[in-house]
Every structure is written in C-alpha cells, then in structure tokens.
Structure 1
Amino acid sequence: MSANTDAANTRGANTQGAVDLSALAGSTGSAAPQQGAARDSWTVAAAPQQLQQIVQLSAQVPVLVLIHGSDALSEQFRSTLESAVDAQKGRMVLASIDAAASPEIAQQGGKLPAVTAFLSGQAIGEFDAEAPVDQLPQVVSQILQLATQNGITGTVPPQSQRGADSAEAAEPEVPPLHLQAHEALENGDYDGALAAFEQAVREKPDDAEAKLGIAQVQLMRRTQNVDLAQVRQRAAENPDEAQAQTQVADVDVLGGHVEDAFSRLIRYIQTHAGEDRETVRKHLVELFSIVGDTDPRVAAARKKLAMALF
C-alpha cells in the first residue's frame, strides 16, 4: 500500500466532525449481535449509495471497503478483516458490500472478494482474492501505519455491535509494545516508536509487524524535515551518488509516487556495480516491505529487480 499525494497533505486529523456510520449498520455475518452482552465494532454493512458517506470518513481514519460474495473465501476475508479492524478500537473502519445485493458494484470489484483502502477520500490501494488470508491482519497494520505517516491519526465511534462470544473468540489482542509504538507515532515521537518496535522484536524475533514498524519509522525519520526541492536537485546533479538516489526514493514512497521510487532505484542497480549497487538494492528491498508484498507494484518491481540483477 502507498499513500496518495492528497493524503500526504492532510495533517492533524482528529475526531471532531467525524461521520458516525452507526445508522448504516446492519447484520454482517459474524458481526451480527448474539445472545449476551454485545461489543462495540467498527465494521458496517453498506449499500452502494452509502459509499460516498463512508469514504468521507477516511479523512479521520483509514477506511476499507470490502466487496464480498457468499463463498467460503469471502467469509474468511470478512471475518478476518472484521477482527483485525475491531482490534484497532476506532482507528480504522471496515465497510462490507454484499455482491449479490449489489451486482453493479460486484462487476466493478473484479475478482471477489476485493478490498479497496481509502485515506483522505482517495483510494490508496487494493487487493483481492489472491491475497493470502493469513496476511490480512498484517495488511491492516500496514495501512494503519501508513495513515499515521500521513497525519491520519483520529478515532471514530463504534459503527455497530458484535456478539460478546464471537468477539472474544475472534478479536486478536494488539501487543502492548505495538500500542506503545503507535501512541508514540501519534505524538511524533519517532525514537519512542522505534524503541518499542525494537523491544517487540527482541521479545519475539518472528514478529513481522514489529519488523515492518521499524522499517516504516526509519523511513519517517529519514524524511523528517527534508527539503523536497533540494533533495531532487541533489539527485539530479549527482546521478551516481547512492544516498542521493535513495533519499529521493524515500520521499517518493512517502508521497505516494511508489512506481517512480522503484524505477529510480532499479535504474541505478542496472547501471552501477560494487558496494553502492548493493546498498541501493537493500534499500529497495526495504521499501518493498514498507509498501507491502500484496501491492501489485511491488510484485512488478521485484520482477524488474531480478532482471536487473541477473
């Protein structure tokens, strides 16, 4: 996933004026209330005519729009995304659209299930049935961290209710160190966020989300307070300087120009050798992880990188 330029210009999001979609909520499978005390949820069943209102909410928090069928894979997508989104406690919203009830939307969605992510009213990425279900929580985390990078750090009220029993079984607990890192990011404390993610990796070496968090925080630190015009001028005047090229790639990724960033570094790898080439290759691979393996631009760039190397 990558940020849209419009999203990158949004700063200081808060909950004031947030759109409450609770009136739109309906039965959404596993999110339907069950016997016993209900739990707050940030998932909502939506009709096509409600999409504009839902997308407006992405000025406050990331919004995922899921178009699903009645097949088993669609149910897995919906259940997994509901749990991952609800675990964020209002920092993200999921809207699901039943393709059977909205055939005109289903045709636009392509291969179902299909998901589109929105920030600041703009679509920033999409993925479909080819995305592994077990990676969906990591994708949610990537989108949330991307929103934080672009100043979208608000929270919104619950949008529906879930049955207590299903919620307890389905909702994963966000690790305390991850919460600590997110809070630090919201306060602009990159050092604190990095320390929390690094501690999480020390405690759990296979924590993929924490490793991704480290890469994303490092990107934010590298691009903090940079002068874009100066960065681009330096790169133009020094085409053989690895650091100059990677710095432009960083600001391009942060600004949503993902393909430009990838192409720049792949061209450098094609035309250079030695230690600088390896430095740029490692930097490119790190940017791949930040954008996310489910993003088609990463898959395309990986193929081009392989051709450049071999």
Structure 2
Amino acid sequence: MSQQPFSRPGAIDLSALKRTAPSAPPAGAGGPGAGAPGAPAGAGPAAVGGSSYAVEVTEESFQAVLESSMTAPVLLVFYSRTRMPESGRLADDLALLSAEFEGRFLAGLVDIDAAPGIAQAMQIPSIPLVVAVLDGRPAPLLQDALPLEELRTALTQVVQQLTAQGMTGRHQPRQGGPAAVEGDDAEYVDPRYAPAQDALAEGDVDRAVAEYQKLLAANPADAEAAAGLAMAKVLQRALGADPQAARAAADASPDDVEAQTLVADLELYDGQVEQAFTRLVELIRRTSGKERDAAREHLLGLFAAVGNDDARVLKGRQALASALF
C-alpha cells in the first residue's frame, strides 16, 4: 500500500471511486458484498460478523456508510486477512463489540484487497487502522490490533466521552443481523427499556428515572438509556416546580444558575425548545467558573433529552461553541 501520511480530518476525496463497479467475485470467494442470493439491487449493506451493527463496506456502499455517520459514529476498520492476519482479527473483534455497544457506533469493515479504491480515497498509510467518522469527518482512532479486552476498554472510553458531550445518537440494527426485525418498516423494540417506558406511561416519573439509572449503571455506554434519563429528569424537575414562582425567581436573578436552569426545563417541557437553549447559552456567556460549568452541563442534558440529530440541537451546539470560545 501507499505510504502517504494520513490526511487530516475533513472531506474525503471520493473521485477515485467514480468508476465502473468491479465484477462480482467468484463463487465462494467470500468478498465484500457477497450477501444472500437475490439481495435487491441498491440495498444498503447487510449486517455481518454476527452483529446487527457491523457491515462489510464496498466501493458501492462506501458513500452510504459515510452518510450514516450523521446519526452516530462510524468506525471504519481497514484490514487484509492475507497480508496481515492480525488486522482481520481486529475487524472481527470490532464487529463483535459493535453488538455489545448496541448501535452506539457502526463498524464498517473495509477489506483493502477487495476495495482498494476506498483505501486510496482515505489515503490509508498502513494496516491495521481504525478511522472514526462523525458527521462525515474522519479522524484516525487506532493503529494497532489491540487485544479484545483492551479494544473494549478503549471503545468504552470513546463512547463515554461522546455521551458526556451530549452525542447520544444511535444506529438502527441492520437487516440480516441477530437484532434485526422482519419487515423494512418494523420498529425494533428493546424489552430492557419497557419498565422505564411503562413508568412514564403511568405518570410515575420518579420510577422512570430510577429505571433508566439502573440501565446506565449496567452499561454506561447505553445512549438510549442516557437520552431517556435526560428527558425523564426534565419531566421530574418541571412537574415538581411552580411555573409562576420559577419564572419570577429567574426574572429577579438573571445570573442565578439554579433559577435559570429550572425555567429552561419548564420551557422545554412546554415545547419551547429553542427558547430553553437560548436561555442557557446566554447564561453561559454571562457566567464563569463553576456556575458556567453547571449551566453547560445542564444544557448538554437538554440536548440529550431532545436528541442529537434534531436540527435545533445542532443549532444549539453551534451557539454553545460560540459562547464558550
């Protein structure tokens, strides 16, 4: 492979992929894209490796995989089982762990022998290599074939950092994996969330908070539980407040973090999402130290409650960045 230095995060040159699709590999070759017979033309990449959150990336599906990073991170692992068997093991381990993280990232397996154009477009210097793609922007993540436990620890740290930043998006299970459901329009329902959802349906917000906290204690990387807990806490605070008294206190003390965050909760509860975000962004502009940190953490919690892929959250993140820097 070319030994060019890895390109800085940014746009990927896809010009190398704009060519006639290569012919299908011989029967039994097991190359990428060799899915089940009769797969519809143009269908998205199917799940591989026993995981609903791992796909073999071909030069034809590469763009679609990159676009899915707008929902949640994509981890591209570049490997060659013939040139470097340990890189193939890394690909297998990443596919295995993608199931454990339940959609918090999508593992994209790139066989550089079968899809050399992708390696060329990404300017991959060597293998093994794991590249993280978030919102279409790539950045190198790992360049070693870590043992499974070390890889699990590293990915847990990455996911926890993203969750702390309010990035709680999650991929849906891919068709063909164990967590996939029948029918293109079927909705995957995870029974683990049923107790919390039942509590909310019954109006028992305190119990819902406790149930979501149990889920996060068991798996801190569970983005679904993190988002559910954030929303349940907003409900808990809003339902326990006197709206008139809360607004009067906020008007009287514009820089009081506790007063302003409570009103932001009430605004979010009333559907005034952008107003709630703006209130806290302006509070962050006016404060410093511990007060600013508290306001920022509260705003990140509101982002998580609304959903990382919501356009209002994306706009709010831009405003937050401007207020901080």
TM-score range, shorter chain: 0.3 to 0.5
**Larger gyration radius, structure 1 or structure 2:** 2
Q: Which has the higher relative contact order, 1 or 2, with Cα contacts under 8 A spaced 6 or more apart?
A: 1
Greater helix fraction, Structure 1 or Structure 2: 1
